[in-house]
Amino acid sequence: MVAVFFCQLPLIAQSVSQPREVTYCELSKNPAEFNHVLVKLTGFVTHGFEDFEIDDPECRTQGFSIWLMYGGTAESNTMYCCPGEASQESRAAPVAVEGITLPLEQDQSFQQFRELLKREPDTTVRTTLVGTFFSGKRQLSGANAFWQGYGHMGCCSLLVIQRVSSYEPHTRSDLDYTAEGGWYEDEGCKWATEQDLGHVSVNNWDGGAQKGIGAQEKAEEGAPWAFTDPRRVAMESLKALYPDRVPVLRRVKNGPARQVFQWNQGKKRTIVVVTRPYWLSLYAKGDAVAWVSTMIKEVGCE
C-alpha cells in the first residue's frame, strides 16, 4: 500500500523512456517543477528498517527527502509506518500513484539490485534510477517548509522506480555498507536511556555527510593517522564533547570496517562507533577511506 493524500487524477499509463536527467539538488530546490515527471537520478540508495530513500551527500537539504518504491507489482520489503509495504514479494496489481499507473522493467539489473537489498537488510548502494517523481505537498512549520506525503510517517517526496539503470556492486570487505552508521549499535544495557551526541550518515538532513567528507579531506591533506588509527579518531571526536576530561576507551568490537569503543562512567557510558563508510569511498582521491566517528551516544544504564 502507498500513503497517498492527494486528489486522484485520470488514469494514465507511463512508459519508461526519455527521462529528464536531474540531480538531487535540482529536485530539492523546486520539487513542484518535477511533479509527475519521469526523471533519471543518481544517488545513494539506503534501505533498512523504516528506510528506503535516495540521497546525495553533497547536497545538504532541509525539509526535503525522497522516499522510494518500486513500480509494477514488485514490493520493496520495507517495514515502515502508515502504511508499510510489509514483507510481501509482490502486489496483486501494478502500483498507481495519484491516478498514474507506473510500470517496472524487471530486467537483470533490477533483479540483481533487488537481491542485493534482500541479502543486506541494512545497506547503502550507489545507484542510477529512472522513475516518476511525486513532489508531495509543501507544508509550513514556523519559518521552515517541508515537502511531505509519502513514506514513513508521510516524511517525504516520492520516486517510483521504473528502471534500475545501474548500481555499484559491493566488493570490498574493508568498507561499512550499512545505512545506519552505528545508530542501532548494541549499548549492552537491558534498560537504557540514550542521548545522541553525533551521527554521521549518508542521509544528509543533519549535515552529517558533510562532516564525513570533511574528515576524508583532512586525512588526505595531513592527518594520515585517520586511515590507520580508529582509536585516535574516536578520541579526537570526543574532545569537543568532553573538553576537560580524558576518556579511557575500551574497544568492544573490532573489525576491518567497523570498530566500537566504550567509556564507562559508573552507570553512564559513552559509545563511539567508528567506521569506514562505503559512501565516503566515492569522495576519496584513492582507495584509502578514512575512519570516521559515525555515532556517539551517551547511555544511562538502569
Q: What is the pLDDT of residues 251-287, one digit of tens each?
A: 999 999 999 999 998 888 899 999 999 999 999 999 9
Question: What is the residue extent of each domain of the chain?
Answer: 12-167, 192-301
Cα separation, 203 vs 179, whole angstroms = 8
Residues 125, 117 contacting (CB under 8 angstroms)? yes
- Summarize the confidence of residues 108-136 as an average pLDDT: 96
Per DSSP, 207 falls in state: S
pLDDT confidence bin for 77, thresholds 50/70/90? confident
Type of residue numbered 14: Q
pLDDT at residue 87, rounded to an integer? 54
Percentage of the chain surpassing pLDDT 70? 90
pLDDT confidence bin for 1, thresholds 50/70/90? very low
pLDDT at residue 224, rounded to an integer? 95
All cell numbers assigned to 97: 500513484
- Summarize the confidence of residues 19-37 as an average pLDDT: 95
pLDDT at residue 194, rounded to an integer? 77
Residues 6+ apart with CB under 8 A from 206: 199
Q: Which residue reads 570490498 in cell numbers?
A: 172
pLDDT at residue 141, rounded to an integer? 75
- Summarize the confidence of residues 236-243 as an average pLDDT: 91
Residue 204 pLDDT exceeds 70: no
Residue 181 pLDDT exceeds 80: yes
Helices (H), 147-266: 208-222, 230-238
pLDDT at residue 284, rounded to an integer? 95
Q: What is the pTM of this model?
A: 0.87
Residue 54 pLDDT exceeds 70: yes
Cα separation, 275 vs 223, whole angstroms = 16
- Summarize the confidence of residues 135-161 as an average pLDDT: 88
